[in-house]
């Protein structure tokens, strides 16, 4: 069994005694089995939490302990994040298991650096002053992680997160180092508090409740190369600026209003970024991807181009004037729901009867709003399709466009209608059978098929089987492309062995 107690003791002793010559924590961690990664991080989180609760620890000792805990936690965090994202695997460790320790780690390390700053403010130390800039930058980084991981999971951020981010930015700005390049960790390029803060603000303004988790990750990575196209101003210029941040408030940046005037405000001019993204989207639609996108499958080019174009709209002034296509009216009632193509087809075929219970809130010609209580491992994402069945048996097919979750596991869904009364079918060829949904009226003026993106290929021929009828068909152009599905046109070549 790995000596976790010994590891924690070493880190704490190093904080107290600079000359400690026992075995190093780095040496000890080199023997850490991968299967103990989660346990090791949990022990570090417990130790940092205990450190944060102890007001008697001297600043110098506290600072050195936090640095050591941070250093040892980072490689563990990287491994567990990779497991959460499905990019690494350790037997017996699931994404659901690693999440609580990751969230707790970012909370405790952010709090630990903040306690250092608070202790320094109470009893200023000339010896610590040179470290205060690094401490502030690292604290900002961990508060940003908390905000980002809330967005990835469709939660809004805790008000304490943006209160602390705004306060730390204000402190750094007043002290004159908000834009100073600082090496946050060895091996990283120098960056400033202003850089990180602006990136966090832009990620929040990118409307993460309309994104898949993987796209939130993608946008956050892109913002490393994009945030330089945004100006942060102290002076109010309503005709040039789109968003504002109140540094005295506990809220993230928001759409600019004319009453947002004062020393406490900072203003964001994002038109330059919008114009740049529009150019990149046009190039991407012709196959030329921006360098910051990195390697992607050719099949994803159109999705990347669409994402860039949507971000260009979101950051534009015109994007802030968007309104609903049609007015929604309150229409509360219970409905049955089937999220996902596989589940929807099984339920529509009556192969199973476990429809989910949802509550419809409002609806319009184009869409609807609903909510439901999340299950233990709820995985609904933006871009998923859902079949909704009314009490009279009428069914409509929709695609999720917006998601938000509350801390009491209530999930609110905004969805756009695709068609009414979808019919389960199968597409057969020499390679096997593929499930699909036939859509008689999908709003594109022609009949269509909803199927997995991987099963679509222009001009591909299949045998479409629906109950006792069979048709030879040829797939046509895409009518709509979603992350996992496509809605495509098709033509009938032959019907039950006869020419169409």
Asked whether 174 and 146 are in contact (CB, 8 A), the reply is no
pTM of the model: 0.91
Structural domain of residue 379, as residue ranges? 329-419
User: Which of these three, 267, 297, 321, is where a domain ends?
Assistant: 321
Q: Are residues 236 and 381 in the same domain?
A: no
Q: Are residues 44 and 151 in the same domain?
A: yes
DSSP 366: S
User: Which of these three, 142, 177, 208, is where a domain ends?
Assistant: 208
For residue 325 the two structure tokens come to 């296509």
> Mean pLDDT, to the nearest integer, of 423-434?
92
Q: Are residues 413 and 364 in the same domain?
A: yes
> Domain for residue 218, yes or no?
no
Q: Are residues 394 and 451 in the same domain?
A: no
Q: Are residues 300 and 191 in the same domain?
A: no
Q: Are residues 433 and 392 in the same domain?
A: no
Asked whether 349 and 439 are in contact (CB, 8 A), the reply is no
Q: Are residues 86 and 141 in the same domain?
A: yes
* 414 vs 437: CA distance, rounded Å: 21
How many domains, in total, are found in the chain? 4
For residue 479 the two structure tokens come to 């009518």
Say which CATH number the domain at 466 has. Answer: 2.40.10
Q: Which residues contact 40 (CB under 8 A, 6 or more apart)?
A: 2, 4, 7, 29, 32, 76
* 411 vs 405: CA distance, rounded Å: 4
> Domain for residue 253, yes or no?
yes
What's the farthest any 2 CA atoms get from each other in the chain? 91
Q: Are residues 131 and 197 in the same domain?
A: yes
**What pLDDT is attached to residue 243?**
94
Say which CATH number the domain at 351 has. Answer: 2.40.10.220
Question: Which of 300, 278, 276 lies closest to 287 in space, CA to CA?
Answer: 300
Q: What is the pLDDT of residues 224-279, one digit of tens each?
A: 999 999 988 999 988 888 999 999 999 999 998 888 998 999 999 999 999 999 99
**What pLDDT is attached to residue 97?**
94
Q: Are residues 135 and 79 in the same domain?
A: yes
> Domain for residue 479, yes or no?
yes
> Domain for residue 213, yes or no?
no
Count, in order, helices (H) and strands (E) of the chain.
12, 17
Q: What is the pLDDT of residues 344-363, one digit of tens each?
A: 999 999 888 899 999 999 99
Q: Are residues 138 and 96 in the same domain?
A: yes
> Domain for residue 286, yes or no?
yes
Q: Are residues 341 and 283 in the same domain?
A: no
User: Which of these three, 287, 321, 355, is where a domain ends?
Assistant: 321
For residue 298 the two structure tokens come to 């050719």
**What pLDDT is attached to residue 254?**
92
Asked whether 232 and 194 are in contact (CB, 8 A), the reply is yes
Q: How far is CA 265 from CA 71, 236, 237, in A?
A: 35, 9, 12
């Amino acid at each position: 069994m790995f000596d976790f107690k010994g590891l924690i003791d070493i880190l704490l002793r190093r904080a107290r005694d600079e000359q400690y010559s026992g075995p190093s924590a780095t040496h000890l961690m080199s023997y850490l089995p991968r299967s103990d990664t989660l346990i090791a991080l949990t022990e570090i989180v417990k130790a940092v939490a205990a450190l944060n609760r102890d007001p008697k620890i001297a600043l110098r000792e506290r600072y050195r302990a936090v640095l050591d805990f941070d250093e040892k936690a980072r490689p563990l965090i990287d491994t567990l994040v990779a497991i959460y994202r499905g990019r690494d695997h350790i037997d017996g460790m699931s994404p659901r298991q690693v999440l609580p320790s990751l969230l707790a780690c970012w909370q405790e390390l952010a709090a630990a650096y903040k306690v250092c700053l608070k202790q320094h403010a109470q009893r200023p130390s000339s010896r610590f002053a040179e470290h205060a800039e690094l401490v502030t930058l690292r604290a900002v980084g961990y508060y940003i992680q908390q905000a980002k991981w809330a967005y990835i999971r469709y939660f809004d951020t805790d008000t304490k997160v943006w209160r602390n981010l705004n306060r730390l930015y204000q402190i750094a700005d007043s002290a004159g180092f908000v834009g100073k390049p600082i090496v946050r960790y060895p091996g990283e390029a120098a960056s400033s508090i202003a850089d990180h803060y602006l990136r966090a603000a832009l990620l929040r303004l990118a409307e993460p409740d309309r994104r898949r988790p993987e796209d939130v990750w993608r946008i956050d990575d892109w913002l490393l190369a994009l945030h330089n196209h945004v100006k942060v101003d102290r002076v109010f210029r309503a005709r040039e600026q789109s968003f504002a941040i109140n540094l005295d408030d506990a809220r993230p940046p928001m759409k600019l209003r004319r009453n947002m005037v004062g020393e406490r405000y900072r203003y964001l001019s994002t038109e330059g970024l919008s114009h740049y993204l529009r150019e990149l989207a046009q190039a991407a639609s012709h196959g030329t991807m921006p360098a910051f996108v990195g390697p992607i499958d050719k099949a994803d080019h159109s999705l990347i181009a669409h994402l860039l174009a949507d971000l260009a709209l979101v950051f534009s002034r015109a994007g802030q004037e968007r309104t609903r296509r049609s007015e929604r009216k309150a229409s509360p009632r219970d409905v049955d729901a089937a999220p996902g193509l596989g589940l929807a087809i099984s339920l529509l075929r009556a192969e199973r009867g476990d429809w989910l219970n949802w509550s419809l809130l409002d609806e319009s010609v184009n869409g609807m709003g609903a909510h439901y209580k999340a299950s233990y491992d709820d995985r609904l994402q933006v871009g998923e399709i859902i079949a909704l069945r009314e009490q009279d048996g009428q069914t409509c097919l929709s695609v999720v466009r917006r998601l938000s979750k509350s801390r009491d596991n209530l999930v609110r869904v905004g969805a756009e209608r695709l068609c009414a009364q979808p019919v389960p079918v199968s597409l057969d060829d020499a390679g096997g059978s593929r499930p699909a949904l036939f859509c008689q009226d999908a709003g594109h003026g022609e009949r269509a098929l909803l199927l997995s993106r991987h099963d679509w290929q222009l001009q591909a021929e299949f045998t479409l089987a629906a109950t006792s009828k069979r048709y030879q068909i040829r797939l046509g152009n895409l009518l709509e492309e979603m992350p996992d599905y496509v809605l495509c046109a098709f033509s009938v070549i032959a019907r039950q062995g006869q020419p169409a």
